[in-house]
Structure 1
Amino acid sequence: MNLELRHLRVVCAIAETGSVTKAASALGLAQPALTAQLQRIERALGGVLFERDRRGARPTALGELVLSRARVLLPAMQGLQDEAARLAGADPTPARYRFGGVNSPILGRLVHRLAAAHPQAQITTYASWSADELSQLVGGGRLDYALLGVCGDALPPMAHGLTWREVATEPVQVLLPEGHPLAERVEVGLVDLRHEQWAVAPGDGCFGDCFATACARDGFTPRKVYEADVRGCIDLVETGAAVALCLATFRPVPGLLTRRLAGTPLRWRLMLGWHPASAGADFAAEVLDAAVSAYTDSLAAHPDYLSWLLRHPEFGVRRPTPAEPLPGGAGSGVRTA
């Protein structure tokens, strides 16, 4: 049997899902058919590609070698097909958008916009708490775009050659229960929260150096930090067990209030990243425009914040001018907190 690109896609699907059964479902095949196909691939390559047990499928040394080649060949072939289609005068619309996100506030609106503009395109999403993992997946051609935030003036992950552009900058606010003693204030000083316990979701950059540094400037060290998913963080705030940092565009939740931090000591910058040599780079300008529009759409539910933005133009959507240097290396933009 001669090895074909479709066989490499099978190997990649098994590795990405960690299971032959899950890979079969993702590929729209019956599990026995995919198992038989894997066996034929292994015979053609002369060895076992995956160790399989009740915990799933893990690549062998030979499997890792095949995967390393496949992750180069498959994106390259997709890029060749896209380039050929453009040169042949075919419809220059993307066949797919593959997004990875970490706590992204605009992913839903962005997907909705792109699906409406390109109903034939396949749109997939992947969630990870790790910005480095998302950057690696985009750099390796397994995702087309990464949506993530960075804190203050920090750089997004730079190890995988991605181009980064800023979608928007937001002031970080505090999420309180309605009955909190500080709930009546329009703005809350960070130092006024020195006795609070905090809830944080994994991947939330503001609980790294930026948050600790801001607290130190106000002369205190944050008390206990609970790590939970977003729903768990909301539960902790609802019960009064903790307060949490949130974005100004945080979707309203009954019983909870958002309050600005006096002096805006923390900024969150929403970034869109892609690899400049990938097929996704050809549509990055459109995706960036859609992301900016998705963010702008989210402001409608926050009239008080929208009014505040008019007085603070350094926040919200900001596009660099053509002559303005882009921080973060060649092709980079600004970030988020």
Structure 2
Amino acid sequence: MELELRHLRTVRAIADTGSLTKAAAALGLAQPALSAQLRRIEKALGGPLFDRDHTGARPTLLGELVLERARVVLPAVSGLQEEAVRFANAGAAVQRFRLGGTHGPLLGGLVDRLASAHPTAPVTTHTSWSVTEIATLLVDGRLDYALIGTCGESPPPREDRLVWQVIGVDPVFVMLPEGHPLAGRPELELSALADECWADVPGDGCFADCFTAACAEAGFTPVSVYETDTASVVHLVQVGRAIGLCRATFPPAPGLVTRPLAGSPLTWRHLLGRHPRSPGTGATAAVAAVAGHTRAAYAEAVRRSDGYADWLTTHPRFGPAA
């Protein structure tokens, strides 16, 4: 039998779990099938790889040698596969901009600026609620740049593979219908909204947990939270069904106002990401240009937001990144 990568993964799974039963479950195999496969691997390698008894499975000296090599080979092959997929998806060496992002006005602003500055270059977008999905497409070379957001100081996805830079940091504001009794206040305590229903957009980060924790700190549990698309959030606020959560750079909309929360208990970072070895972003000038257009789109969003530019003058830790 010739040794294959799947055999190394099997040996590593047994070592990691310390048990053939647990390794079989992790690999989606029946234990007898895994035991038979291990016997074939040990025969091919010349000796037993594990000492097994009722307490589990422990690597032999030969097993330790195989595991040491497997821990080098498997990540290297995985990295090779990622590189190959990324380069295969890079396409011809023509100027183009493949952008990914979560739903938000900054992505539209970036597309507009790139299309104006590079009228002959194709600009395409892929949007998703999942920053993990966007990051995976960036790693695989299916996107050149990603514009996403993360809650507070939480790390961006795939930091081991991607380069991220902070474009700006916003507090989270609330959206109220114009006729709401608190709409006239310049700033709101979160506790003043304890009896309200809420609406925001979904995501796979920690924002929902952070919002729940902020409410608990303010002394209440949210009555209900509608997770839906941006247009539906706006509609629910306009008709008085819910209070919306939004970034401070959220653009004006008819029938509602945005207001800051006292103490800014929730924050949002806007991030621009790229793969350091992606052919589509290899030129330093191109990277700098996209970053510059992204910062300009963010600055424009700040100017358009209802009162946010004035609010920033007394809250210097927010706004454009240095």
Query: What TM-score does the superposition give when structure 1 sets the normalisation length?
Result: 0.66
SS of match in other structure, 2:307: helix
SS of match in other structure, 1:164: strand
Report if the CA contact (8 A) 2:151-2:207 is conserved.
no
Give the corresponding residue for 2:293.
290
Letter of the aligned partner of 1:117 in structure 2? A
SS of match in other structure, 2:185: coil
SS of match in other structure, 2:273: strand
1:193 to 2:196 alignment: no
Give the corresponding residue for 1:53.
none
CA deviation digits over 1:208-267, x for unaligned, max 9?
A: 222111112112211211122111111111111111111222111111011110111111
Give the corresponding residue for 1:316.
319
Letter of the aligned partner of 2:199 in structure 1? A
- Give me the whole-angstrom Cα distance separating, in 1, the residues matched to 2:226 and 2:161: 34
SS of match in other structure, 1:208: helix
- Give me the whole-angstrom Cα distance separating, in 2, the residues matched to 1:229 and 1:302: 20
Give the corresponding residue for 1:130.
130
Alignment of 1:45-60 (within 5 A): none
- Give me the whole-angstrom Cα distance separating, in 2, the residues matched to 1:235 and 1:78: 39
Report if the CA contact (8 A) 2:90-2:142 is conserved.
no
Give the corresponding residue for 1:64.
none
SS of match in other structure, 1:270: strand
SS of match in other structure, 1:188: coil
Letter of the aligned partner of 1:229 in structure 2? D
Letter of the aligned partner of 2:310 in structure 1? S
Shift of residue 302, structure 1, vs aligned partner: 3.4
Give the corresponding residue for 1:224.
224
Letter of the aligned partner of 1:136 in structure 2? T
Give the corresponding residue for 2:41.
none
Match of 1:76 among 87, 101, 126: 87
- Give me the whole-angstrom Cα distance separating, in 2, the residues matched to 1:313 and 1:80: 43
Letter of the aligned partner of 1:174 in structure 2? V
Q: 1:136 to 1:294 in 2, by over 3 A?
A: same
Alignment of 1:172-321 (within 5 A): 172-203=172-203, 205=205, 207-282=207-282, 283-302=286-305, 304-319=307-322
Letter of the aligned partner of 2:212 in structure 1? A
Report if the CA contact (8 A) 2:170-2:267 is conserved.
yes
- Give me the whole-angstrom Cα distance separating, in 1, the residues matched to 2:305 and 2:225: 28
CA deviation digits over 1:84-127, x for unaligned, max 9?
A: xxxxxxxxxx6111111112321111111111221221110011
- Percent same amino acid at aligned positions? 47
Q: 1:187 to 1:271 in 2, by over 3 A?
A: same
Shift of residue 285, structure 1, vs aligned partner: 2.2
CA deviation digits over 1:167-210, x for unaligned, max 9?
A: 10011100001111211211010111111111121228574222
Query: What TM-score does the superposition give when structure 2 sets the normalisation length?
Result: 0.69
Report if the CA contact (8 A) 1:200-1:233 is conserved.
yes
Letter of the aligned partner of 1:289 in structure 2? G
Give the number of aligned pairs. 241
- Give me the whole-angstrom Cα distance separating, in 2, the residues matched to 1:198 and 1:204: 18
Q: Which runs of 5+ in 2 are unaligned?
A: 1-78
Give the corresponding residue for 1:109.
109
Give the corresponding residue for 2:156.
156
Report if the CA contact (8 A) 1:200-1:207 is conserved.
no
Calculate the aligned-residue CA RMSD, in Å. 2.4
- Give me the whole-angstrom Cα distance separating, in 1, the residues matched to 2:179 and 2:276: 49
